[in-house]
Amino acid sequence: MLSPGVLLGNRYRLDERIASGGMGDVWRGTDQVLGRTVAVKSLLPALLDEPGFAERFRGEARTMATINHPGVVDVYDFGNDQQIAFLVMEYVEGDALSATLNRVGRLTPARTMALMAQAADALHAAHEKGIVHRDVKPGNLLVRPNGTLVLTDFGIARSDLVGQLTAAGSVLGTASYISPEQATGGVATPASDVYALGVVAYQCLAGRRPFEGDNPLEIAMRHVREAPRPLPADIPPQVRAVVERALAKDPAARWPSAAALAGVARQLKLALSQQARAAGQASPVSAAPSSPAAPAAPAARAQVRPPTAVARPPAAAPQQSRPPVAPRATAAPQRPTAVAPAAPPRPPAAQAGYPRGAAPVPPPAAARPMAYAPQPAPRRSRPGMVFVAILLAVLVLICSGVISYSLRKGTQSGALAPQTVTSGALRHDGRDDPAEWSYRRQVRPGLGSGETTTSEGRQTR
Q: What is the 3-state secondary structure (H, E, C) of the chain?
A: CCCCCCEECCCEEEEEEEEECCCEEEEEEEECCCCEEEEEEEECHHHHCCCCHHHHHHHHHHHHHCCCCCCECCEEEEEEECCEEEEEEECCCCEEHHHHHHHHCCCCHHHHHHHHHHHHHHHHHHHHCCCCCCCCCHHHEEECCCCCEEECCCCCCCCHHHHHCCCCCHHHHHHCCCCHHHHCCCCCCHHHHHHHHHHHHHHHHHCCCCCCCCCHHHHHHHHHHCCCCCCCCCCCHHHHHHHHHHCCCCHHHCCCCHHHHHHHHHHHHHHHHHHHHHHHHHHHHHHCCCCCCHHHHHHHHHHHHHHHHCCCHHHHHHHHHHHHHHHHHHCHHHCCCCCHHHCCCHHHHHHHHCCCCCCCCHHHHHHHHHHHCCCHHHHHHHHHHHHHHHHHHHHHHHHHHHHHHHHHHHHHHHHHCCEEEEECCECCCCCECCCCCCEEEEEEECCCCCCEEEEEEECCC
Sign of CA dihedral 445, 449, 451, 455: negative
Q: What are phi and psi of 403, to 5 degrees?
A: -65, -45
Selected catalytic residue, list 31, 74, 121, 135: 135
Active site residue 135: yes
CA distances from 182 to 170, 175, 394 (A): 16, 10, 112
Q: Would you please indicate which residues are annotated as catalytic (active-site) residues?
A: 135
